[in-house]
Structure 1
Amino acid sequence: MIEKIVNNKIKAGIIGGAGYTGGEMLRILVNHPNVEIAFVNSTSNAGNLISDVHTDLFGETDLKFVSDVPQDIDVLFLCVGHGDAKKFLAANSVNENIKIIDLSQDFRLTANGKFESRDFIYGLPELNRDKIKSAQNIANPGCFATCIQLGLLPLAAKGLIKSEVHINATTGSTGAGQSLAATSHFSWRNNNLSIYKAFEHQHLNEIGESLLQLQPSLSDSLSFIPQRGAFTRGILAAMYLESELTLEEAQNLYQDYYSTHPFTHVSGKNIDLKQVVNTNKALVHLEKHGNKLFIISIIDNLLKGASGQAVQNMNLIFGLEETAGLKLKAANF
């Protein structure tokens, strides 16, 4: 049952608040009309002002990072690295009535969707909105997975993925997280472009599960080539497959599928990342080239691909307007 919050604010806790997704979570929640940030946990920054780490929040909050995990909250966001959510839950007792929204990949797949007595629902609203509304725990989707799925879900819903899907997608450097690596240094990333995990990116598994949920007969493969882009945030996925649909039929199919989803829009014009960066929006553009349906999908990897979608899921769970706290305009210049 949806928990409707009317007068009292939702008390939110954040684990891993010093990273990129934690910082974006704070940037959203600090101005969310229905949320009070109860605490922000960071073992490495305990006692420090949040605004000393996330300098964009200077003047917005006087909160400090803490090392403990208070239990007087309604929802807990796990903004931690992959593998660390399970470790956190194993090491810390979290009250059963606290809803958990996990931004790692630990609980996204059906086989991994349970931890002790907690069942996790895959949190892509454009796929599972009704399930999310009654969920106690959410596994937030991956950023590449979100972008690619939003480009393919309407086809799968009608059983129309009938050939191999070719996908090339480029992500900004924030997708790699804050931990330094050779490929995240400015001097390497700037004016550069590279491919990694070709045909075997970990997000393929969750994409496959979602498409099979809508199209159980799906047997065709997804060929995914991920790229590192020389920019900080955003994902552009370019996909094509064989299709008998006309362009008009495809556009009508996509518009019908997303007509009740406030953040995903179908554009008749070509699209670019500046239209979605700093927002929770996803834009999809379709073209027809011979027998190929060409699909472009774009999101901000830190918002619709992470923290923004997590807040969207929180809004659905607690019976708020789905767009609450997320009406963000892109910076186009």
Structure 2
Amino acid sequence: MKKQSVTLVQVAKKAGVSVMTASRAMSGEGYVSEDTKARVQEAAKALGYAPNALARVMKGGRTNVIGVVVNDLSSVVVNAFVSALTEEVRKYEMDLFIYNSIGQLDEQTQRRHSQLLHGLWDGLIYVLPRMTDEYLHELEKSASPIVLVNFCRRDTTLPVVQGDNFNAARDAVAGLIAQGHQRIAFIKGTHWTGQSAERERGYRQAMADAGLHIDKQWIEQGTYSEQSGQEAAQRLLALAERPTAIFCANDEMAIGCMNAARALNLQVPDDLSLIGFDDVTAASIVRPQLTTMRHPLPLMAQAAVQELMRRILGQPGTRQRVEFPAEMVVRESTAPIAGITKRRTRKA
């Protein structure tokens, strides 16, 4: 026989309060003394009462749940950001619901995504969203509180929290140029979020600022994976006049470049300087340790939750775009071109 669910009426009776008072004590909405709240919560725990989130939504109430939509939870960056989001959400005494969307954004997947707008949460955060313009337009029309994280492919009416990709990339390449490098290649990632395009724009700007020509063979397409970085580097290092430095749109591709260099008996940074992006954990573990660009993920998570909560609570002062600068983390994978020349001379 199926066990019947405990009702709020039973909780109120056990606590010796009215149903309305029990409801306020459990939802946190409306005034209830601390003693009464503790008594109601103790009664609920003793009876095994679980609030019905669906019923609360149907009555126009809040669920105290924030939904987070990601495209690949196995991504190191996404995982780190979701962990930071979890810490922020807890500060509001709310829960996090994670929806991991994997694969191509076909019509069926897009239909499932549309159903998220009517789910059991007070608002949604999309992390590195992989979406079509049609779906983005649907989000823009929605009345649901929504915040996008690291989306810069095109302008949107939705609030966006992101890292500054253009200036970070320009700084990364300018650092290589300051070390004497002129043949600098770039391995880009996928187009979905617009981050790679901004990093490529920063790369091109730094080269233009220094009056350096970019050979079209120096720009390679990757997919943000280590394997794609290794394959792109193999093509770059096979050029008759190979690059002396490679800037990658993320760390995983830069680590793939290290593998490609090692297979050719090239030393990093003696024969090839490398810079990645994101400062994932592996960047400080690989040998040589990887020079990279780091965005402040905890601060970005804090801003994303704050922007969403303002919209959930209907508070004024909301911002449409919040951008954070990146920090260059200098490690062992870069070296001045003059130093490279001296080392080669000594070896000869």
Measured against the shorter chain, the TM-score band is: 0.3 to 0.5
Per chain length, whose mean CA-contact separation is higher, i.e. which structure has more relative contact order (CA < 8 Å, sep 6+)? Answer: 1
More helix by proportion, 1 or 2?
Answer: 2
Give the TM-score taking structure 2 as reference length: 0.35
More strand by proportion, 1 or 2?
Answer: 1
